[in-house]
Amino acid sequence: MAQIVKNTALSPYFTGPLLFLLAGAPASIRDPVLLRLPIKYHAAIIKSLKWLLALGLLRKANRVLSDWADNKWLWNNDKSVWDWKKEVAVITGGSNGIGAKVVKDLVAKGIKVAVVDVQPLSDELQGWANISYFHCDITSRDAVHKTADEIRAALGPPSILINNAGIGISCNILDATPEGLRKIFDINLVSQWYTVQEFLPDMLAKKKGHIMTTASMAAFVGIAGTANYCCTKAGLLAFYESLNQELKYRYNCPQIKTSIVCPGWTKTRLTTSIEPALKAAGQPPLMSAQTVADAMVKQILAAKSGTIILGPKGAPLLRGLPSWMQERARDGTAEHVKVNASSAVS
C-alpha cells in the first residue's frame, strides 16, 4: 500500500492534471473543487503539488536516461526481431531453485530451453517438450565447449544466455580452504567467461542476443561470514559492466542486451541453513524464488538491458555514501550469517 501511495504521489500523470485543476483550470471548473477544501490549506496544497510534480518529472527523466544508458545509448528497442517460439535459451544452474522457475516461465512463452547443470532436473521440469538437459561441469572450459557444441547441434545457436549457476559456502575468512575458495570462484564467477566465450560469437554474428547474470545484493555490501560469496557477486557486477563496454566499444554491437539481477535474501537451498539467523536478526520474510524468476523473465521478454534490484533500491548508492554511513549499513548485517569452520549453505 505504501508503495502504491508513493508511486501515485510522484506520478506526473496524477499530480500534473490535479495541479492544473486546482490552479490553472477555468474558474467554473476550479472553484467548485476548491470550495470542498478548507481555504487555509489551498496555498499549501498547490505548493505541495508543484513540488510533487517537479520531483515526479525528475524521477521520470532519471528513469528514461537510465534506461537509455542501460540499453547502450540506443533509443530504438526493436522487439520485432524476437520470435519467442524460435528462440533458444541456455541457463546454467537451471535444475532447481530460481533457475527452475525461470525455465518454466520461459517454456510457457514457447522458448526452447537448454538446462546446463551438474544436478539432475527436478521433478517440476520433467516431461516438458521444450526443455533439454545437458550435464556439464561449468568450471571446466573443455566441458563447457563440448556442451555448447551439443546444444548448437540439438537446438541451434542460442540467442539467450542466463548465467544463473551459483553456490554459497559460508565461512569466516580464517576458516576458508583453498579448495572451497577455488570452487566458489570457479562456479560463481570464472564460469561466466567460459559460457560467454562459447555463446557470444553467434550473437555477435546476428547482432542479436541477451546475456543475463544472476548476482545478489551481496554485490554491494560485505557481510561477515560470507566474504567469498560477496567477492564473487561483486566480481559479477564488474564482469557485467565490462561486458557492456566491450559490446559497445570492442565489438560494435550495442544491439545485444545485457541484464544483471541482484535479489536480496531468497528462499532457496542456499539460504536453508541461515534462514533462522536471518529471522532472529529481524530480517523480513525471504523472497520467493518465483518472484525473482518472474522479474528475470519479464526483463528478457521486454528485450531490454538493465539492472534489476530486488531489495533496497538504494543499495547501489551505498558506496557513494560517507564512510560512517556505509559502515553502519554493514554493521546491520553482522548477525545475518552465523558460521563456524564447517557450516555451509551450498
Q: Would you call 233 a catalytic residue per the annotation?
A: yes
Higher pLDDT among residues 49 and 76, named by residue? 49
Does 108 lie in the same domain as 62? no
Q: From CA 138, how far away is CA 187, in angstroms rounded?
A: 7
Tell me how long the chain is.
346
pLDDT at 274 (0 to 100): 64
For residue 78, pLDDT beyond 80: no
Give pTM, 2 decimals.
0.84
Does 321 lie in the same domain as 274? yes
Does 53 lie in the same domain as 193? no
Torsion of CA 137, 139, 144, 145, to 10 degrees: -140
Does 140 lie in the same domain as 199? yes
Quick: pLDDT tens for 24-70.
888 888 878 777 888 887 888 888 888 988 888 988 888 888 888 88
Does 262 lie in the same domain as 165? yes
CATH number at residue 155: 3.40.50.720
Measure the N-to-C terminal CA separation of the chain; round to a whole number of Å.
36
Domain membership of residue 53 as a residue range: 2-70
Range of lowest pLDDT (40-44, 147-151, 180-184, 212-216): 40-44
Does 108 lie in the same domain as 66? no
Q: From CA 245, how far away is CA 237, in angstroms rounded?
A: 13
Q: Which amino acid is at 250?
A: R
DSSP bridge pairs for 114: 90, 132
What value does the mean pLDDT take over residues 238-253?
97
Does 94 lie in the same domain as 23? no
Does 84 lie in the same domain as 11? no
Q: Is 235 exposed, middle or buried (0-12, 13-18, 19+ CB in 10 A)?
A: middle
Q: From CA 252, how far away is CA 35, in angstroms rounded?
A: 61
Does 185 lie in the same domain as 115? yes
Q: Which amino acid is at 44?
A: A
SS (H, E, C) 28-43: HHHHHHHCCCCHHHHH
Q: Cell numbers for 162, please give them.
A: 542466463
Quick: pLDDT tens for 107-124.
999 999 999 999 999 999
Does 35 lie in the same domain as 106? no
Total domains in the fold of the chain? 2
Among 70, 95, 118, identify where a domain stops. Answer: 70
Within a domain: residue 297?
Answer: yes
- Please answer whether residues 278 and 265 qualify as being in contact, where contact means their C-beta atoms are separated by less than 8 angstroms: yes
Q: From CA 104, how far away is CA 213, in angstroms rounded?
A: 18
**Of the residues 233, 240, 257, 267, which is catalytic?**
233
**Of the residues 101, 229, 240, 267, which is catalytic?**
229
